[in-house]
Structure 1
Amino acid sequence: MKNIDFFLFCLIFLGWCKISSAQNIPRGEIDIENFVEDLFGMQREEMDYEDLYEGLLQTLLNPINLNKTNPEELKSIFILTPDQINQFFEYRRKFGELISIYELQAIPEFDLETIYRLLPFVVVEEKNQNNVSLWKRIGEAKDSYFLFRHRRVWETRRGFTPPDTLSNGNLSSRYLGDPNSLYGRFRIQQSKDFSLGFTIDKDPGEQFIWDPSTNRYGFNFLSYHFTLYNKGKWKAITVGDFQMQFGQGLVFGAGFSAGKGAETITTVRRSSFGIRPYTAALEFGFFRGAAGTYQAGPVQITLLASDVPRDANLQVQVDTIENASAIITSLQSSGLHRTPTEISYKNRAREKNIGGNIHYQSRNKNLQVGFNGLYTQFSQPFLRNQRVYNQFEFSGQENHIQSIYFSYNFQNYFFFGESARSASGGTGSILGLMSSLHPKLSFSLLWRDYSRNFHTFYGNAFGEGSRPINERGTYLGLNFKPNIRYNLSFYYDRFQFPWLRFRVYAPSYGEEWFGRFTYRPKRNTLLFIQARHELKTRNVSEYPGFQSSYLLDQGFRNNYIVNLDQKLDRRWSIRSRVSASTFRFDGKRTKGFAISQDLNADFERWRVSSRIALFDTDDFDNRQFLYERNVLWLFSIPALHGQGMRYYLLTQYKLNRRLTFWLRWAQTLYTDREIIGSGLQQINGSTLTETNFQLRYQFNR
């Protein structure tokens, strides 16, 4: 036993030396740019990136304790393969709890690249402060801060100009507020112990006004929460705003859930992490009320009650005996309240939810089985304006949905699935498998079927569409990594839509494949080549010259990327990228490309990031998505189309241990237009300039 202990100590020491000599990465820091590149092979505008990034942030702020974790937690960060997770728990079974985080290098199948990606999300120590009062722990928490952000577009949009006089003598609509965007966040938390805070937000064009009659109280949006963890048998208790994730996301699907991207294996599965505080500035997609999770042996029971206001368009409906009643014709999810019309939507309806979850985990943690249930009631009946494609969407005042799910780990095979049924009788089902067929080869397979009348308001399941409805599909993913230098990832997804969709007035089908080859000749250099092909159907009548609304054609889109990351020395790094695309539809072929060059520097207190990009696309279908660095915890993926140039400069300065400043300037210069945007967002000119200023003050530092 002493020989084993001595050998283990040597491995830890050598691993620590090797990692330290390569690069010192403090816990909590992450190369978010590369991480996003791995999770998303191709950005999609309909994806909710702010909420997704917020989920990633919550994982970073609540690191996983490797000595207390389980397979479900390790799967939730989309980094480790099934074989690596099994090797980790086999190692811990043999040698006991980890002494240092660098001991990971002694685990089979854990290479340096995997460990570097894992470091920001995990810790090995856990301070026991049960004998310290809650208020003292709150007062002394090191993870406590206040953050303030200002954003603005400096060109004048049409919505901020004086109104015009219409032919009927009325004035045209304009924004009532100023063009400044203000955001604040206060947070005090201690991982696995407690979390409390609030978020405030004012969007451009909104008034900073105290007007209870229109539900406006200074900042346009306020979110708040107070959550306790691990208090006896209570695993979590929360009041305020929160989200929930159980099963595969058919009923409760909030939080950090990636889709199809360069990480082709681990992202197909959702993890049951339970209750999570809601801290984003999006004004929809969360519960407001109270929830709690109670541990009863191998069973966890979670209950929730929520009553949250919703922005809605209300209209008066008169029945056959001339009784008038209000109905909801649409729910607004933009969260914008800039004009009198948008203000009239604010908090016009209420949504009540009662639900819960029962979750069983076997003693060896290989089997999980659970049940979800959620009942939703609106304050008025929901009767949307009928369109040819939305006949099976939700209508009425009440909905209930139930599901059962499972997850089973057998050697290197992870099986998972969920099946749900809504009040309409519509069903949704997912069945999947992840496996390490070989230490160098991983495999994933997922089948899903969401009927056209399946109604889930908080679902976020895997799929081609932005919601789990009216879709069937099969996904196959592969990842081959012969050694630390080379990696090949590939997926193929075949899907069909049994009923009509927006801009697709007939049942349709599609397919998508993606491949990325990554070459890392040394630690400081990364090269990848990426290709993506997508086939989808859409209405031809969207284009001029056609009369029929039901004439369809297949659209073929191809995207290509070549990317080189190079760390020149301890301070300087560069990124060079060329992306291109083609789109073929209705006998026409268009194309586009973008070339970008980044230069980044790290001078400890000072950090500087910059980019210059040239783009030229024939149309909007060839828009080029380029992830950009931004101020801390802000996401930016502009869609570049037309002709022009975009550049930005981001600086970060750490004044002292408590106070840090960020300033970002970005500008897009178009060479093919003199008007940018349309409607009230229209800018008369060829440039679009945006600034972001942010400060963060950390208490107890």
Structure 2
Amino acid sequence: MKPIIVSGVGLFLTSFGLLAQQAPPRELDIEAFVEERFAMQEEDVPYEDLYESLLQLYFQPIDLQVATSSALQSLYILSPIQIQSFINYRNQFGKFASIYELQAIPEWTLETIQNILPFVVINSSNTNDALPSLKRIKKAENAYLLFRHRKVWQTRKGFSPPDTLSNGDLSNRYLGDPNDLYLRFRLQQPADFSLGLTLDKDSGEKFTWDPKSKRYGFNYLSFHYTLYNKGKLKALSLGDYQLQFGQGLVFGSGFSVGKGAETITTVKRSSTGLRPYTSVMEAGFFRGLAGTYSLGNIEVTGMLSRSSRDANLQLIQDSLANESSYLSSLVLSGLHRTESEVQKKAQATEHNAGFNINYQLPNKALRLGANALYSQYSQALIPLERIYNQFEFRGKTNFTTSLYFTYNFRNHYLFGETAVSKSGGLGHVAGIMSSLNSKLDFSMVWRKYDREFHSFYGNAFSEGSRPINEEGVYLGLHFKPNRKISWSVYYDYFSFPWLRFRMYAHSTGYEWLSRIKYQPNKQMILFFQFREEIKSRNVISENQTSSQYLLARGKRQNMVWNLTYQPSRWWQVKTRVQQSFYLIDRQKSKGFSISQDISTEMGPWRLSGRVALFDTEDYENRQYLYEKNVLWAFSIPNFYNQGMRVYFLAQYKLNKRLTFWGRWAKTTYTNRESIGSGLQEIKGNELTETTFQLRYLFNR
């Protein structure tokens, strides 16, 4: 009976001309995506890199006719039961007749389909085994030129005239102007090829041509040329690229979320494989050649990379008058504004060679894989000895290998990876995502990373920013009793066996979050979220009573109330209230913020704005507020002290090819006479910034 019903639906859709294979393209709602997956914005999360990785998924949509469960899971949208329901439906009824047929899949709601549409296609017709000709490259589906200018209009100290020091020297100042410039050129045909060039100059950097310091106009340049699906060659990339396999213990570049308001789908890393690198972050990627070759159920990826790295170079004069050097640290900021920052640019060379091999059962249920990465620096890396870094990497070479698996059994996903580095340190991560029934999902992740486990490109599930010196267990639940109400909660217990920065003793902690979401209709969404984190920190020095370091347990609590109302597709309003408390060593402080947003569409115009008030007693209670920005730009500033934040964003589509964006933002403090410190200091209580962007689409 069911096949007859589905066939009838297909004929009905055909009669209305809907078998054009694709639904109208749906623009990615990055704000909603971030709100769901980042429970609380944090300072050490590379949002720009995450955003760029998300865009790679957006520009290389998954073909649902051949999509595997692993590929679907990489979107962090579908629950295990929804993925299994999709696979069962496709196995039973064959290929999809139209994107609209997704509505017939059990467990798939309209909300699910709306969320996944930006990342999927039906019957991708762009695959071409032949190498792309010049004519085909010129006719690329995604072909554009994008230029962005950003500027802070108040004068920072770094741009002021230098002072004369007591020894007659001039004080340090920025070498360049305050303009932040960004240029991107892209030619991309989904599932066929991608060619891109990205240029970036940060505020304070000098626009100059100086090969000696490897500055060629813009201070940062990224290029890639990537081919897809050329027979058995699944991907081949020249230039800048990233790799993600297993659970991220060896190759962990790319989009990954971890702990957030989405408590189930984001805990597992996905083997998204080889992808071009397009971010402006100047570290954490490979530069060279990499390719993936398919041998039936086995895929092999090999890579070679040689890239310059910013570093603090230390010179040593030995007894034979032979000069040698070592690296005291790698510099990850990517800023080259002053003479000292320019001197650190490209001081080290990093070589990488590695491979991945993975095997998948014909039914796609089981995947087994192995990773290996060899890294070598031009000089030995010898960090300055501190009490907490005794087990950090030291030397010129490192070698990291791992074995991993994923197993899909009905509505359950099991996954894990074990790795070992040259030092002998081990890293382990294992977990499960499970749909217990159509209303309840469960997840669990266990991890253990030795204090001497060294992985330069690891990005596994962890409390810290790196998989090292940590043990922990994470439990997550998602309960949706009906279409209107959902409840997400997680609890994560972690311990740090060895010392850490500002934590000079073994310590433990925990974190838990709960979010209740209510959506009575399509127009309104309400949610309340509470998060608590307990983590230790060194007691301030005057309170230390013995030769041993004393720790105090700090408690951080955050609450969010959010109401979003969209009476029509033309306009939307959102009200958000945040409150926080921080308690340590019997000292308690608090902070809050309230924001009001409004967005509207009027013909070729899209307009949005916000007014926000904030009041915090200290930096510990800083308030992070996600802000809308120009296309493909990310903004999550934090605010503390007292003040008001206002921004206005306008988009104007002149024609099919040319679109303009303009953004104005201003922060006014009521209890400060200066903003920032060092060369970033601004005299006064106001900070105003503007962003201008244009995009030209070639083949429209």
**TM-score past 0.5 threshold:** yes
| 2:132 aligned partner | 134
Alignment of 1:393-472 (within 5 A): 393-472=392-471
- For the structure 1 residues 598 and 287, does the alpha-carbon distance in structure 2 shift closer, same or farther, using more than 3 Å as the test? same
Q: Is the 8 A contact 1:648 1:667 kept in 2?
A: yes
| 2:295 aligned partner | 296
- For the structure 1 residues 322 and 236, does the alpha-carbon distance in structure 2 shift closer, same or farther, using more than 3 Å as the test? same
Q: Is 1:164 the equivalent of 2:160?
A: no
Task: Determine helix, strand or coil for the equivalent of 2:393.
Answer: coil
Offset at residue 13 of structure 1 (A)? 5.3
Q: Is the 8 A contact 1:474 1:493 kept in 2?
A: yes
- For the structure 1 residues 256 and 697, does the alpha-carbon distance in structure 2 shift closer, same or farther, using more than 3 Å as the test? same
Q: Is the 8 A contact 2:300 2:357 kept in 1?
A: yes
Alignment of 1:151-300 (within 5 A): 151-300=150-299
User: Among residues 93, 112, 115, which one is paired with 2:113 in the alignment?
Assistant: 115
Q: Is the 8 A contact 1:15 1:102 kept in 2?
A: no
Offset at residue 551 of structure 1 (A)? 2.1
1:380 partner letter: Q
- For the structure 1 residues 552 and 94, does the alpha-carbon distance in structure 2 shift closer, same or farther, using more than 3 Å as the test? same
- Could you tell me how far apart the structure 1 residues matched to 2:50 and 2:212 are? 33
2:339 partner letter: P
Offset at residue 483 of structure 1 (A)? 1.2
1:182 partner letter: L
- For the structure 1 residues 341 and 152, does the alpha-carbon distance in structure 2 shift closer, same or farther, using more than 3 Å as the test? same
2:105 partner letter: I
| 2:85 aligned partner | 87
Q: Is 1:391 the equivalent of 2:390?
A: yes
| 1:677 aligned partner | 676
Q: Is the 8 A contact 2:233 2:294 kept in 1?
A: yes
- For the structure 1 residues 561 and 231, does the alpha-carbon distance in structure 2 shift closer, same or farther, using more than 3 Å as the test? same
| 2:350 aligned partner | 351
- Could you tell me how far apart the structure 1 residues matched to 2:560 and 2:478 are? 19
Encode CA deviations 1:70-102: one digit per residue, 9 max, x unaligned. Answer: 111100010101111000010001111111112
- Could you tell me how far apart the structure 2 residues matched to 1:71 and 1:233 are? 21
Offset at residue 507 of structure 1 (A)? 1.0
- For the structure 1 residues 609 and 551, does the alpha-carbon distance in structure 2 shift closer, same or farther, using more than 3 Å as the test? same
- Could you tell me how far apart the structure 1 residues matched to 2:568 and 2:479 are? 30
Gaps of 5+ in 1: none
Q: Is the 8 A contact 1:531 1:560 kept in 2?
A: yes
Offset at residue 130 of structure 1 (A)? 3.1
Offset at residue 548 of structure 1 (A)? 7.0
1:579 partner letter: Q
Offset at residue 602 of structure 1 (A)? 1.2
**CA RMSD after TM alignment:** 1.9
- For the structure 1 residues 26 and 165, does the alpha-carbon distance in structure 2 shift closer, same or farther, using more than 3 Å as the test? farther
Task: Determine helix, strand or coil for the equivalent of 1:293.
Answer: strand
Identity score, percent: 57
Q: Is the 8 A contact 2:3 2:93 kept in 1?
A: no
- Could you tell me how far apart the structure 1 residues matched to 2:8 and 2:386 are? 68
| 1:609 aligned partner | 608
| 1:570 aligned partner | 569
Q: Is the 8 A contact 1:12 1:105 kept in 2?
A: no
Task: Determine helix, strand or coil for the equivalent of 1:325.
Answer: strand
Query: Once structures 1 and 2 are overlaid, which stretch shifts more, 317-326 or 203-212?
Result: 317-326
1:31 partner letter: D
2:43 partner letter: E
- Could you tell me how far apart the structure 2 residues matched to 1:636 and 1:128 are? 34
- Could you tell me how far apart the structure 1 residues matched to 2:131 and 2:240 are? 25
- For the structure 1 residues 116 and 82, does the alpha-carbon distance in structure 2 shift closer, same or farther, using more than 3 Å as the test? same
- Could you tell me how far apart the structure 1 residues matched to 2:168 and 2:494 are? 52
User: Among residues 98, 102, 105, which one is paired with 1:104 in the alignment?
Assistant: 102
2:188 partner letter: Q
| 2:312 aligned partner | 313
Encode CA deviations 1:420-473: one digit per residue, 9 max, x unaligned. Answer: 000011110001000000110000000000111110011111110001111100
| 1:378 aligned partner | 377
- Could you tell me how far apart the structure 1 residues matched to 2:198 and 2:128 are? 29
- Could you tell me how far apart the structure 2 residues matched to 1:479 and 1:65 are? 28
Aligned length: 695
Offset at residue 6 of structure 1 (A)? 5.0
Q: Is the 8 A contact 2:209 2:215 kept in 1?
A: yes
Q: Is the 8 A contact 2:129 2:230 kept in 1?
A: no
- For the structure 1 residues 375 and 10, does the alpha-carbon distance in structure 2 shift closer, same or farther, using more than 3 Å as the test? same
Offset at residue 4 of structure 1 (A)? 3.1
- Could you tell me how far apart the structure 2 residues matched to 1:111 and 1:294 are? 37
2:70 partner letter: E
- Could you tell me how far apart the structure 2 residues matched to 1:409 and 1:595 are? 44
Offset at residue 552 of structure 1 (A)? 1.2
Q: Is the 8 A contact 1:146 1:186 kept in 2?
A: yes
Q: Is the 8 A contact 1:539 1:549 kept in 2?
A: no
Offset at residue 324 of structure 1 (A)? 3.0
Offset at residue 700 of structure 1 (A)? 0.6
Offset at residue 650 of structure 1 (A)? 0.3
- For the structure 1 residues 320 and 472, does the alpha-carbon distance in structure 2 shift closer, same or farther, using more than 3 Å as the test? farther
| 1:592 aligned partner | 591
Q: Is the 8 A contact 2:227 2:237 kept in 1?
A: yes
Gaps of 5+ in 2: none
1:694 partner letter: Q
- Could you tell me how far apart the structure 2 residues matched to 1:129 and 1:443 are? 37
| 1:524 aligned partner | 523
| 2:123 aligned partner | 125
- Could you tell me how far apart the structure 2 residues matched to 1:16 and 1:674 are? 68
- For the structure 1 residues 132 and 455, does the alpha-carbon distance in structure 2 shift closer, same or farther, using more than 3 Å as the test? closer
Encode CA deviations 1:357-407: one digit per residue, 9 max, x unaligned. Answer: 011111000000000000000000111111111111101000000000000
- Could you tell me how far apart the structure 1 residues matched to 2:549 and 2:601 are? 56
Task: Determine helix, strand or coil for the equivalent of 2:458.
Answer: coil
Offset at residue 544 of structure 1 (A)? 8.5
